[in-house]
């Protein structure tokens, strides 16, 4: 049965998130979609024909395929060809009817103005004796080329104009243009050859050699492979598809497929840290595969992966994996699983793969995340030894990598970097979002360039037009977070979640815009930051003068107010996607980390690592001793801060101090209080002999998973091995509670004059002149410029010089410390204003 006779089309509204077959962009719930209904040959049905399979598309994506299709390919000729068309909204019907009209016009033009016949009608009018070969001659290649050139001369491109309007919906990693249809039978499209190429890339250590391996593969004289699919599979991390399957699920699924114990596979996986190699070794060891070299193409693998995204139930996934396992060799199964895990383990990133395509391809990819566009440009530019630059600018609907900031450890470092003056912006602890607006259409992308969940940005479409009344098309770089309606204070990271937002009903989602990359179709990324700022409708605090003292004041003021820190930007800097040319200032970066939240914690357990650290203990469960319950409580998991040499030494030291329990909750010792989700692979035999490490983090936080009264550490890292401490002198639970409370307590200098307006204040009391603030700007959408006179904490003698002198009150007679209070060590000069502090400690000057 031919595809032509069995292919049907349907239209409906997305009931759950699904991916477009062509561009790979997710179709949100409620969005109109078209479906191509074809036989599902992946499912074997001995009792009848194979069941139907639906491939979903954006309407413009499906019709773009029709625009390029051969004359005998079945397409939508009228609305009658679409099942469910009558159930669509009127405006959606108009969109489809318009596409059908454009398609009919284009096809009629290609055939020299004659009325287009459907494949079915053409077959009826043709001679019965006509052979397939003679039928193929009815649409010669040169005719298509001739009509194409004629169309270009006449300036007619009905599909292009339409596609530019809806380009906002195209995926960064998805495909768009690709000249011609690659020959799937080409030897260069063999998935076996792809696996061999990956082996070659992994076998060389130099990154230049890895790029050279890719270049050699695609530069051969007879290369006729599908370059776009090849590059996309070599970069699985860029792929936006979601497979709903994890390592342990794969172990269980293959144990079911081959009828073996999952425990044996799981043990092997823990030792290797590579689930794909575990499965391959298991298949080869037990001679479970009869295939030495599969015949699947990379296109077929790509389609198989597409289908995998539709399955979430174990039974469906097992059936799908079993279908592939019977047709692929162990080597090919290994790389198929690595594609699912989105890590080919060839130690080659996006830069190294794309440089094999073209020396400037990676630079272009920074600006335009559309692989299809970049591959097409490289093809047109003849990539073999031609030093021409691949120029791809930012465009609507295709997110660019966000510009980043590197840690700044001192004010002096900031002054040296930002020689042209700087903008000092509040570093909000929210979620980075890139906003694309094309007329009344909006798209929102996260830092990882994935679509932002709808509930986080649902109401912004009403606010953005008010903020930019003249902005028809624009791309914004911003931060989205919850703000307390009563105080105007930003709420902590993570409160944007559906369940968390319910706890903060008296709060609003706010978009803090700090940069603009495109405005009314003008690319602004090469413009200086100061010019980009002028295009923003913003309310900002201006800090005049470029001096160390003012910057220090801002830093400490931001930290005191519970904000994450500051971001410093050179006023003349251009926007460079993915580059760390900004500076970020946080308290755990300052003074060599001495201002960070730290605790001396006990190593209570350990977890197997993954990847290069597979088979060794590389992540550790840290905790404290609770003297009240005579038990040990968990605080955090920590896997950062150790070098490879340190890890080797730690593993040797812990080898005789730990016992393996394989994440079994029932095997936990009675002295350890640990939640089920955190049970480690190893637990220390005697916590009194366990090592003590100094753990440093951005801040103390609350966690439902940890048992030390829910106290945890955000972004933990090991900063010191405390050989001078043991379980008695390490941080105890009671001490940890005090550290947590102190870290959340705001401290202010008791100046004779001070600015009480916080950096996040809602009202703008005074607006300075933007032109005069050329040296230093403190930005927020909701801020007050009186911060220019505010002072930070008296952290050291240098910062203390920023304050005006204080006048001490005259004492008529010596004061005595009242009973029940402890004298404050700062005495009358104490700078702390916190009420709890004043209630606990006695100050001579108190009245």
Residue 564 has pLDDT above 80, yes or no: no
Residue 303 has pLDDT above 90, yes or no: yes
Whether 512 is covered by a domain: the verdict is no
CATH number at 679 reads 2.40.50.140
> 258 lies in a domain?
yes
- Residue 626 in 3-state DSSP? strand
Residue of 427, 437, 456, 637 marked active site: 427
- Whether 425 maps to a domain, the answer reads no
* Helical segments of 273-313, H only: 275-285, 298-308
Mean pLDDT for the stretch of residues 362-380: 80
Q: Which residue among 709, 743, 777 closes a domain?
A: 743
Do 10 and 152 have their domain in common?
Answer: yes
Most confident of 307-316, 365-374, 803-812, 837-846: 307-316
Residue range 705-750, pLDDT digits in tens: 999 999 998 888 898 898 888 999 899 999 899 888 877 654 333 3
Asked whether residue 215 falls in the same domain as residue 359, the answer is yes
Contact 473, 480 (CB under 8 A): no
In a shared domain, residues 147 and 215: no
Domain residues for the domain of 638 are 594-743
Q: Is residue 634 part of a domain?
A: yes
pLDDT of amino acid 641: 86
Kindly state whether residues 223 and 366 are assigned to the same domain. Answer: yes
Question: Could you tell me if 635 and 694 lie in one domain?
Answer: yes
Find out whether 762 and 784 touch, Cβ atoms under 8 Å.
Answer: no
Which of 339, 364, 380 marks a domain boundary? Answer: 380
Region 94-109 average pLDDT? 84
Give dist(CA 492, CA 495) in Å, integer.
6
Q: Tell me the per-residue pLDDT of 6-27, one tens digit each, with 9 for 90 and over.
A: 788 999 998 877 788 888 787 8
Three-state SS sequence of 691-746: CEEEEEECEEEECCCCCCCCEEEECCEEEEECCCCCCCCCCEHHHHHHHHHHHCCC
The C-alpha atoms of residue 74 and residue 104 are separated, in whole angstroms, by 13
Q: CA-based angle 821:823:824, to the nearest 5?
A: 120
> 598 - beta bridge partners?
696
Q: For this structure, is 193 an active site residue? A: no
pTM: 0.51
Model pLDDT, residue 548: 54
Of the residues 380, 398, 432, which one is the last residue of a structural domain?
380
Q: Do 600 and 640 have their domain in common?
A: yes
Residue 286 lies inside a defined structural domain of this protein: yes
User: Which is more confident, 274 or 115?
Assistant: 274
User: Looking at residue 560, what is its pLDDT?
Assistant: 61
Q: Say whether both 232 and 163 belong to one domain.
A: no
Residues 598 and 724 occupy one common structural domain: yes
CATH assignment of the domain containing 56: 3.30.1740.10
- Are 203 and 157 in the same domain? no
| Residue 562: pLDDT band with limits 50, 70, 90 | low
The answer to whether residues 165 and 203 belong to one domain is no
Task: Output the DSSP codes for 348-399.
Answer: --HHHHHHHH-TTHHHHHHH---HHHHHHHHHHTT-SS---------BTTB-
Q: What pLDDT does 249 receive?
A: 92
* 43, part of any domain: yes
Report the percentage of the chain scoring pLDDT > 90: 26
**For residue 755, is it within any domain?**
no
| % of the chain surpassing 70 pLDDT | 71
Nearest residue to 436 via CA among 514, 496, 517, 367: 517
Say how many residues make up the chain: 847
In-domain check, residue 547: no
Domain count, the chain: 4
Co-location of 370 and 222 in the same domain? yes
Confidence of residue 221 (pLDDT cuts 50, 70, 90): confident
Q: What average pLDDT does the segment 746-773 reach?
A: 42
Whether 160 and 194 share a structural domain: no
> What per-residue confidence (pLDDT) applies to 125?
38
């Amino acid at each position: 049965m031919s595809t032509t006779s069995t292919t049907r089309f349907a239209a409906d509204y997305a009931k759950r998130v699904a991916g477009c077959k062509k561009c790979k962009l997710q179709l949100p719930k409620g969005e109109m979609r078209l479906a191509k209904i074809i036989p599902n040959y992946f499912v074997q049905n001995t009792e009848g024909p194979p069941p139907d399979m639906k491939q979903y598309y954006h309407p413009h994506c499906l019709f773009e395929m029709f625009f390029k299709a051969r004359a005998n390919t079945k397409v939508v000729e009228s609305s009658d060809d679409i099942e469910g068309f009558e159930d669509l909204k009127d405006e959606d019907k108009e969109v489809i009817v318009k596409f059908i009209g454009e398609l009919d016009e284009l096809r009629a033009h290609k055939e020299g103005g004659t009325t287009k016949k459907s494949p079915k009608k053409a077959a009826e009018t043709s001679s019965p004796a006509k052979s397939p070969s003679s039928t193929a001659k009815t649409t010669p290649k040169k005719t298509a080329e001739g009509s194409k050139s004629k169309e270009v001369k006449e300036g007619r491109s009905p599909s292009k104009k339409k596609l530019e309007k809806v380009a906002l919906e195209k995926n960064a990693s998805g495909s768009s243009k690709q000249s011609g249809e690659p020959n799937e039978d080409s030897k260069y499209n063999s998935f076996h050859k792809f696996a061999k190429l990956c082996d070659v890339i992994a076998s060389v250590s130099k990154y230049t050699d890895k790029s050279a391996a890719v270049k050699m593969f695609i530069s051969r004289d007879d290369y006729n492979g599908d370059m776009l699919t090849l590059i996309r599979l070599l970069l699985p991390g860029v792929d936006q598809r979601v497979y709903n399957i994890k390592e342990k699920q794969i172990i269980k699924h293959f144990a079911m497929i081959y009828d073996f114990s999952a425990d044996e596979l799981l043990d092997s996986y823990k030792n290797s840290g590579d689930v794909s190699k575990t499965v391959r070794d298991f298949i080869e060891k037990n001679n479970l595969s009869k295939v030495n070299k599969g015949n699947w193409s990379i296109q077929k693998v790509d389609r198989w992966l597409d289908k995998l995204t539709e399955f979430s139930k174990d039974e469906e996934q097992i059936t799908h994996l079993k279908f592939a396992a019977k047709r692929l060799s162990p080597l090919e199964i290994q790389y198929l699983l690595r594609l699912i895990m989105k890590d080919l383990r060839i130690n080659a990133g996006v830069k190294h793969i794309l440089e094999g395509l073209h020396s400037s391809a990676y630079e272009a990819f920074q600006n335009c995340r559309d692989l299809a566009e970049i591959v097409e440009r490289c093809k047109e530019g003849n990539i073999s030894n031609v030093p021409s630059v691949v120029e791809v600018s930012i465009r609507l609907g295709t997110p660019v990598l966000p510009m980043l900031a590197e840690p700044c450890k001192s004010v002096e470092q900031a002054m040296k970097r930002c020689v042209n003056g700087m903008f000092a912006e509040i570093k909000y602890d929210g979620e980075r979002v890139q906003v694309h607006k094309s007329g009344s259409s909006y798209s929102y992308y996260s830092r990882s360039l994935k679509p932002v969940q709808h509930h986080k940005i649902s109401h912004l479409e009403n606010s953005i037009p008010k903020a930019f009344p003249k902005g028809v098309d624009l791309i914004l770089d911003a931060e989205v977070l919850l703000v307390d309606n009563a105080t105007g204070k930003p709420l902590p990271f993570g409160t944007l979640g559906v369940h968390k937002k319910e706890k903060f009903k008296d709060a609003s989602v706010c978009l803090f815009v700090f940069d603009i990359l495109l405005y009314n179709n003008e690319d602004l990324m090469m413009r200086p930051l100061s010019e980009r700022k002028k295009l923003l409708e913003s309310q900002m605090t201006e800090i005049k003068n470029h001096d160390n003292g003012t910057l220090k004041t801002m830093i400490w003021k931001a930290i005191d107010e519970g904000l994450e820190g500051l971001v410093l930007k050179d006023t003349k800097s251009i926007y460079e996607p993915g580059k760390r040319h900004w500076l970020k200032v946080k308290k755990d970066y300052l003074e060599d980390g001495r201002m960070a939240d730290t605790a001396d914690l006990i190593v209570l357990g350990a977890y197997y690592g993954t990847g290069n650290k597979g088979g060794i203990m590389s992540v550790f469960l840290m905790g404290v001793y609770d003297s009240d319950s005579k038990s040990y409580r968990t605080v955090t998991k920590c896997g950062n801060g150790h070098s490879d040499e340190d890890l080797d030494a730690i593993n040797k030291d812990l080898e005789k101090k730990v016992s393996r329990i394989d994440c079994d909750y029932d095997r936990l010792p009675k002295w350890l209080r640990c939640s089920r989700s955190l049970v480690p692979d190893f637990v220390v035999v005697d916590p009194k002999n366990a090592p003590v490490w100094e753990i440093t983090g951005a801040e103390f936080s609350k966690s439902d998973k940890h048992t030390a009264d829910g106290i945890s550490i955000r972004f933990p890292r090991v900063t010191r091995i405390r050989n001078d401490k043991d379980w008695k002198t390490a941080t105890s639970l009671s001490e940890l509670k005090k550290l947590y409370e102190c870290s959340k307590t705001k401290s202010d200098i008791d100046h004779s004059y001070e600015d009480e307006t916080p950096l996040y204040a809602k009202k703008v009391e005074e607006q300075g002149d933007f032109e005069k603030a050329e040296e230093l700007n403190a930005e927020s959408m909701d801020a007050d410029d009186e911060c220019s006179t505010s002072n930070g904490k008296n952290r050291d003698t240098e910062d203390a010089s920023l304050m005006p002198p204080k006048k001490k009150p005259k004492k008529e007679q010596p004061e005595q410390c009242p009973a029940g209070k402890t004298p404050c060590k700062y005495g009358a000069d104490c700078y702390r204003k916190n009420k709890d502090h004043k209630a606990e400690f006695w100050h001579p000057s108190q009245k």
